[in-house]
Amino acid sequence: MIATRVSQPFRWLVFGAPSYLQKHGRPRAPEDLSRHECLRYRRPQIGDIYRWEFERNGQSVIIDPPGSVLANDPSLLRTLAKQGMGLIYSASINVAADLAQGALEPLRERFSPAQESLFVYYPRASRNQPKLRAFVDLCARSVR
């Protein structure tokens, strides 16, 4: 079995390509996203468009930013962001390689939600399966 340990918790942030940021500037606050092209994610299981979550002074701020591009594939959204097509909202762990290569930059880290969490969604009928319990226990140990 191969185990991967994340040395630091991931954070939910806005990311943009250097080319996009040079052309359009950096949003200074969540409300500034209304003046930017935001690449939006449609959750296939639910069908809704994911809203971007931030925190300011201990208060939750949820933004429904504008954007002409909507996709249900996070890797497609990352590819478009790297090409300078707009900004994305993603977990830092999902764009770690792009950050290391300089293809994307994090924005407004001070507005990142303070509590990093890992969520496991599963059908109610599966809740008593030993393999699911083992997976949940492994996840809990990994994020501690």
Write the pLDDT tens digit of every residue in 90-139.
988 899 999 999 999 999 776 776 555 566 777 777 778 888 888 888 87
Domain 12-118: which CATH class? Answer: alpha beta
**Residues 141, 56, 85: CA angle, nearest 5 degrees:** 85
Tokens representing residue 133 in the block? 């319990």
In the chain, what are the domain boundaries? 12-118
Write the pLDDT tens digit of every residue in 59-98.
888 899 999 999 999 999 999 999 999 999 998 889 999 9
| pTM: predicted TM-score of the whole model, two decimal places | 0.75
Residue pair 40/50 in contact (Cβ under 8 Å)? The answer is yes
At residue 38, does pLDDT exceed 80?
A: yes
Q: How many residues would you count in the chain?
A: 144
